[in-house]
């Protein structure tokens, strides 16, 4: 979300998305509120620090990690103040293990994603930290049914060998799909809540994410052409969260037009129309942090209103 006030962002989310609100992330607050820094604040028994090249694993926690942890603590305080009486699904987000490993350097300078031992330690630490975070949210909002979203924008690059080296002059080798699936599966299995995996990049590996145990798949509807993978996911009982409006912009289509687009897509998948509203949740295609506050609110209103057209008459 845009902005720097966690309480105000929560009020907007609860007002616009009462059926599935979330704990907003506010990267505009600076280092420690960004995608990697925020999730590094969840890690158990691992420390990071910010260098000119980005976040790096270090032996001891410093100022940058403490700042990230303070941001997270403020968000939890705001959650208690604003959403204590909420009852029903409530989503929290964390960087997935592969994107986190791709975004953190080891002490000696290369990304942790190249080191199986570092990846394993990160995955275990992240899973333990997410479990503690879920418990902290549940303690502040007793009526919440917590859902965890793992953000994996770097996963296609991990699989395809597209990540640049720390120097920027080369590319890291691809990681084999079975290794990616196994390590992601271990994290999903250790999270004490339903897990949605979000990947809004090109070539999102939907079959791999489903096989790893994801309860839901979140993706940019405009980028996914693999209808077979989507159909297999629906048959397996995996919930779909297609992104139907851009994360930034100025003008949105009419909500009814978005609903018609979804209905046509669902027919192309080959499923009965009356199953759509239970199998699918509409979302923005990606995060709204780069949007204006006006557009962010409009995007959330849009997906909520479009979803009403999908309900059976």
The pLDDT of residue 143 is 97
Please compute the mean of the pLDDT values over residues 249-278 and round it to a whole number: 95
- How many Cα atoms within 13 Å fall on the side-chain side of residue 16? 23
Q: Of the candidates 22, 2, 134, 8, which has an alpha carbon nearest to the alpha carbon of residue 81? A: 8
- Give me the CATH number covering residue 149: 3.20.20.210
Full residue range of the structural domain in which residue 196 is found? 88-308
Return mean pLDDT, the chain.
96
Mind listing the pLDDT tens digit for each residue in 100-156? Answer: 999 999 987 789 999 999 999 999 999 999 999 999 999 999 999 999 999 999 999
- The verdict on residue 22 lying in a domain is no
Please compute the mean of the pLDDT values over residues 231-244 and round it to a whole number: 97
Q: Is the pLDDT of residue 96 over 80?
A: yes
Strand partners, 284: 245
Cα 35 to chain centroid distance, Å, stands at: 9
Q: CA separation (Å) from 299 to 18, 125, 243, 286?
A: 14, 34, 11, 11
- The verdict on residue 36 lying in a domain is no
Q: Of the candidates 60, 85, 33, 13, which has an alpha carbon nearest to the alpha carbon of residue 300? A: 13
- The verdict on residue 285 lying in a domain is yes
- The verdict on residue 12 lying in a domain is no
φ, ψ (nearest 5 deg) of residue 223: -105, -10
Could you give the number of structural domains in the chain? 1
Model pTM score: 0.96
Cα(188)–Cα(26) distance, integer angstroms: 25
Quick one: tokens of 256?
Answer: 């009814």
| DSSP codes joined into one string, 7-40 | HHHHHHHHHH-TTS-B----GGG-TTSSHHHHHH
Cα(97)–Cα(95) distance, integer angstroms: 7
Residue 264 binned pLDDT confidence (cut-offs 50, 70, 90): very high
- The verdict on residue 140 lying in a domain is yes
Q: Is the pLDDT of residue 313 over 90?
A: no
- The verdict on residue 27 lying in a domain is no
Residue showing tokens 């949605």: 196
- The verdict on residue 156 lying in a domain is yes
Between CA 308 and CA 20, with CA 310 as vertex, the angle to 5 degrees is 55
Cα(148)–Cα(260) distance, integer angstroms: 29
- The verdict on residue 192 lying in a domain is yes
Please compute the mean of the pLDDT values over residues 166-172 and round it to a whole number: 87
């Amino acid at each position: 979300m845009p902005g720097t006030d966690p309480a105000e962002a929560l009020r907007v989310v609860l007002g616009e998305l009462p059926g599935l609100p979330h704990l907003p992330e506010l990267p505009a607050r600076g280092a420690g509120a960004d995608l990697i820094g925020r999730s590094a604040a969840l890690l158990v028994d691992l420390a990071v620090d910010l260098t000119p090249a980005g976040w790096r694993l270090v032996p001891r926690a410093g100022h940058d990690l403490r700042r990230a942890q303070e941001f997270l603590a403020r968000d939890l305080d705001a959650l208690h103040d604003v959403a204590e009486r909420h009852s029903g699904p409530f989503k929290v987000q964390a960087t997935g293990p592969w994107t986190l490993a791709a975004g953190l350097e080891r002490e000696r300078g290369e990304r942790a994603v190249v080191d199986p031992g570092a990846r394993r330690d990160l995955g275990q630490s992240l899973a333990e930290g997410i479990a503690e975070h879920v418990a902290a949210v549940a303690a502040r909002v007793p009526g919440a049914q917590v859902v965890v979203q793992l953000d994996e924008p770097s996963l296609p690059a991990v699989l395809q060998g597209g990540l640049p080296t720390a120097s920027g002059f080369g590319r890291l080798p691809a990681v084999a799909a079975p290794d990616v699936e196994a390590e992601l599966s271990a994290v999903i299995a250790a999270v004490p809540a339903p897990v949605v995996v979000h990947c809004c990049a090109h070539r999102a590996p939907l079959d791999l994410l489903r096989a790893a145990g994801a309860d839901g798949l979140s993706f940019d509807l405009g980028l996914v052409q693999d209808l077979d993978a989507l159909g297999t996911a629906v048959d397996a009982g995996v919930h779909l969260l297609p992104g139907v409006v851009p994360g930034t912009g100025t003008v949105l289509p009419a909500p009814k037009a978005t609903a018609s687009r979804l209905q046509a897509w669902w027919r192309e998948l080959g499923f009965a129309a009356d199953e759509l509203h239970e199998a699918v949740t509409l979302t923005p295609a990606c995060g709204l942090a780069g949007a204006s506050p006006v557009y962010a609110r409009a995007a959330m209103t849009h997906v909520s209103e479009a979803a009403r057209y999908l309900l059976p008459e």
